[in-house]
Amino acid sequence: MVALNGRDLLSLADLSSTELQELLQLATQLKSQKLKLQSNKVLGLLFSKASTRTRVSFTVAMYQLGGQVIDLNPNVTQVSRGEPVQDTARVLDRYLDVLAIRTFAQQELETFANYAKIPVINALTDAEHPCQVLADLMTIQECFGSLNGLTLTYVGDGNNVANSLMLGCALAGMNVRIATPEGYEPDPKIVEQARSLANNQTEVLLTHDPELAAKEAAVLYTDVWASMGQEAEADDRLPIFQAYQISEQLLSLADPQAIVLHCLPAHRGEEITEAVIEGSQSRVWDQAENRMHAQKALLASILGAQ
C-alpha cells in the first residue's frame, strides 16, 4: 500500500507518478474491501466554502475507516472572529490527527500546513482541487483500464479544477487539452509545472477553440462557468462562455467511446446540456461516488491502516 506517512497534500504536484498510481489502485481496492485505521483517528473539516460532495465523502470515508470526524464550521469557531491562521493551526494540531481545509486562498492553506505538524489536505482552494481530480482519474481508469496515452479535454473556465486536471493528467501520462475563452486561461505557473511533470511524454495544450480540443478526445470534462466567490460575474460570463458548452454536437467530435465528466454542481443548459449529463456517455454519478473511495485511500495512506 502507498504510504504517504503523515505528509500534506496541498497540490497534486506533491505526489510522484508512482504514488498517484498506487493511490488510485488502493482506491479501487477500497471500493469493494474494508480497511481500518490502526487506531481511532480524528479528521477535522475546516470548510469556509459551501460543500456537499467533499464534506459528505470525507465524513463517510473516515467513518468507514473506523475514525471520527469533527466539522469545524468557521461560523461557530474563533476563525470567524479573526483569530490568526497560525494560532488556529497550532491549536488544532494538538487535537486532531489530520485536517482537511476548504477555503479561498492557497496561501491560507499553506500557512496552516506550515504551522501544524499534523497532515493537511487541500479539500479545495481557488488554486487547486486535488481530491476531485483523484476521483476523476479513478473514474477514467475504471472506464478504460489504463490512463496512459488517453486524452482529456476540459472546456470552460480555467479554474482550480482545470489547474489540478493538468497536474493530474501529466502525472498519469495523459494528454490534457484546456479550452477556455481568451482571458480565462488557467494559472500560467501551474501550466508550466504540468508541462514539466509531463516531461515531453504527453501533451499539455491550451486553446481557445473547444472544437479543436474535443476532437477524438477520450474524456470531455467541464465545470461551472462561475466558481464560488464569482457569483456576481455569472450573468456577464454567460455570453462569453456559450461556445464552451458540452453539447451533443461537441461530444460528437470526441472519440465514439468517450465519456463525459463534471465535478458538480452542474448548471444544466449552461456548461452542459441536460441530454449530455443524463446520456449514456455520462459518468458523472460514478465520478461523484469515487470522491469517497479516492479520499478514503488518501486518508488511509496518510494515517496508516491495516
Binding residues for L-ornithine: 160, 223, 227-228
- Residue type for position 263: C
Active site residue 129: yes
Distance CA 207, CA 185 (A): 9
**Phi/psi of residue 90, nearest 5 degrees:** -70, -30
Active site residue 236: no
Cβ atoms of 64 and 296 closer than 8 Å: yes
Grid cell for residue 270: 449552461
Cα–Cα nearest to 179, from 160, 155, 158 = 155
Active site residue 263: yes
Write the CB contacts of 56 (distance below 8 Å, at least 6 apart in sequence). 292
**47 beta partners:** 102
Q: Of 132, 141, 287, 295, which is the active-site residue?
A: 132
Q: Residue positions in the annotated binding site?
A: 51-54, 78, 102, 129-132, 160, 223, 227-228, 263-264, 291
Q: Of 106, 129, 245, 295, which is the active-site residue?
A: 129
Q: Of 8, 21, 102, 262, which is the active-site residue?
A: 102
CA–CA distances in Å: residue 107 to residues 71, 161, 212: 22, 17, 35
Active site residue 94: no
Q: Residue positions in the annotated binding site for carbamoyl phosphate?
A: 51-54, 78, 102, 129-132, 263-264, 291
Cβ atoms of 101 and 121 closer than 8 Å: yes
Residues tagged active-site? 102, 129, 132, 223, 263, 291
